[in-house]
Amino acid sequence: MKKAVVLLSGGIDSTTTLFLAKKRGFNCFCLIFDYGQRHKREIASAKRMAKLARCPYALMSIRLPWKGSSLLDKKLKVPQRYNAITQRPNNTIPSTYVPARNTIFLSFALSYAEAISAEAIFIGANAVDFSGYPDCRANFYQAFNKIIKLGTKAGVEGKKIKIYTPLINKSKAEIIKLGMSLGVPFGLTWSCYKGGKKPCEKCASCFFRKKGFREAGVVDPLWDKEKRYAQENC
């Protein structure tokens, strides 16, 4: 069976991507990162998703001591309202951007893929309902695929390793509908930039999640009728 490394964060996009890769017949190996982010909640969700999908996972612990992001530096405030994004000047990147994060993650994923003779790397990047991060855009992944061909033993020898971004042009609602058709347990995913027992409902990630479920016409299973976090003891 063909192998794939799947970057898994425990959120809607990466989990849907994992289930889609399995549907396409890949033997998936999940790669989860502890990179010094504000909380471990998303890591716990990622581990649970890998186990539910019956896929092995590797947890990489790395540190970016220079920080440079409100997701890494607790002295910086996470933008609390979506209008901080919609009203930002053109091409201005929000403080939640982690410098070169996807470049770093993909480098680890590429090393992993080459070591286990995988032919694919899946990442749930999206350039529709997103915060404008440059490393979530299609041209970035096209460029990285060129790097694979030029900078790896596999590439030089003509062994194909390709990055797949199946959600890159989908809205959050479309991703949710796709995930539902694949049986993704969205109630166990985590999107909020902050940790805790329940999402803050104010950060950009929470906004896109709420927008997606609303536009998909379904209730987010992360919440019960009283809008309490339904999995607070997981």
Residues of the chain above pLDDT 90, percent: 76
Q: What 3-state class would DSSP assign to 163?
A: strand
List domains and CATH numbers for the chain. 3-216 (3.40.50.620)
Q: How many helices (H) and strands (E) does the chain have?
A: 8, 5
* Element holding 20 (H helix, E strand): helix 12-23
Check pLDDT > 80 for residue 84.
Answer: no
What mean pLDDT comes out for the span 76-93?
A: 65
State the helix-helix crossing angle for 12-23 and 172-182, rounded to 10 degrees: 50
In the Cβ-directed half-sphere of 198, how many Cα atoms lie within 13 Å?
13
Residues of the chain above pLDDT 70, percent: 91
Backbone angles phi and psi of 39, in degrees to 5: -150, 165
Instruction: State the pTM of this model.
Output: 0.91
20-203-166 Cα angle (round to 5): 20
What mean pLDDT comes out for the span 128-155?
A: 93
What the block records as the tokens of 123 is 């990442």
State the helix-helix crossing angle for 204-216 and 172-182, rounded to 10 degrees: 70
